Amino acid sequence: MGGSSWRAFDNEYVATASAYAPGVVWLRKYLTVTEQQALVARCRAIMDGPAGGYVPTVRGGGRMRVRMVCLGRHWNPLTYRYEPTRADHDNAPVPPVPDDFAALAARIAADAGFTFRPDICLINWYGPEGRMGLHQDKDESRASLEAGLPVVSISIGDTARFLFGGLRRRDPVEPILLESGDGFVFGGPARLRYHGVSRIVPGTAPPELGIEGRFNLTFRQY
Ligand SMILES: O=C(O)CCC(=O)C(=O)O
């Protein structure tokens, strides 16, 4: 993957993005500040509510550098499987994806040229030291992966240095600065591209949001 294999478009992404990166659409500043404020309130309530966010321990014993909560299905970081309860943590049942969250993700996907019905939402909270190693999202059903149903990502708060690689771990990665309100969609031939977050840029959240850190929501259809 070279520097020209994907590109961002300021509000012209829908019509032309696929010509640059099949299956990859970056919808910059997609959400208004008011929409972002509403999402902050919802994500905070979920993160801090019953069966809220926790710092997962992954296979091998390492602790993730995010607080995570899953809706729809729980992604178990020890088995890499989706489950109905949080078997790796407190066995709490997983609440469904709220209808308005699913509708928002489906709208973003549609604007990126995909049709899908998201039934999983992972919410990650990144503090100033937050990050996420390079990985593939490949634990959804075989049918979903084979159909190339997308991952829809929404960023809220501080800017993230998102790393977007290729289909092999050793492929070069492109750093992308995902800002508050951005949508980022990868599906089709890009569905299994490696990605991660190398760092958060503290102090970059819109002041109207009143947060220090970053929420990231990723939606998938199992
Ligand atoms: O925080 C991000 O932008 C990426 C999150 C991610 O890679 C994931 O949830 O699988």
3-state secondary structure of 164: strand
Q: What are the pLDDT digits (tens) for 84-100? A: 999 999 999 999 999 99
Ligand 1 near 197 CB (within 6 A): yes
pLDDT at 15: 34
| pLDDT computed for residue 221 by the predictor | 98
Q: Which residues pair with 12 in a beta bridge?
A: none
Distance 133 CA to ligand 1 centre (A): 9
pLDDT digits over 157-183, tens only? 999 999 999 999 999 999 999 999 999
Give me the sheet containing 159-164, strands edge to edge: 132-135, 195-201, 159-164, 174-178
pLDDT in tens, 5-22: 333 444 334 433 333 478
How confident is the model over 114-120, as a mean pLDDT? 96
Task: Please name every residue paired with 25 in a beta bridge, in sequence order, or none if there are none.
Answer: 185
Predicted confidence at residue 21, as pLDDT, reads 75
Beta-ladder partners of 218: 122, 153
| Separation of CA 88 and ligand 1 centre (Å) | 20
Q: How far is the CA of 38 from the centre of ligand 1 (A)?
A: 21
| Distance, CA of 43 to CA of 53 (rounded, Å) | 10
Whether 153 has a pLDDT exceeding 70, the answer reads yes
Containing 37, the helix (H) or strand (E) segment is helix 33-48
What is the C-alpha to C-alpha distance for residues 96 and 102, in angstroms, rounded to an integer? 10
Q: For the chain, give the percent of residues with pLDDT over 90.
A: 90
Mean pLDDT, residues 70-91: 97
Residue 80 pLDDT exceeds 60: yes
Domain segments of the chain as ranges: 24-220
User: What pTM was estimated for this model as a whole?
Assistant: 0.92
User: What is the reported pLDDT for 22?
Assistant: 85
Stretch 49-70: mean pLDDT, rounded? 96
Q: What is the mean pLDDT of residues 57-70?
A: 96
Q: pLDDT (tens digit, 9 = 90+) per residue, 176-209?
A: 999 999 999 999 999 999 999 999 999 999 999 9
The CATH fold of domain 24-220 = Jelly Rolls (2.60.120)
Atom of ligand 1 nearest to the CA of 195: 7
Q: What is the pLDDT, as a whole number, of residue 168?
A: 96
φ/ψ (deg, to 5) at 121 = -135, 120
User: Ligand 1 in contact with 153 (CB < 6 A)?
Assistant: yes
- Grouping H, G, I as helix, E, B as strand and the rest as coil, residue 76 is strand
Mutate to test the pocket of ligand 1, among 132, 173, 184, 220 (most ligand atoms within 8 A of CB): 132
Euclidean distance between CA atoms 105 and 151, whole angstroms: 9
Q: Does the beta carbon of 160 sit less than 6 angstroms from any atom of ligand 1?
A: yes
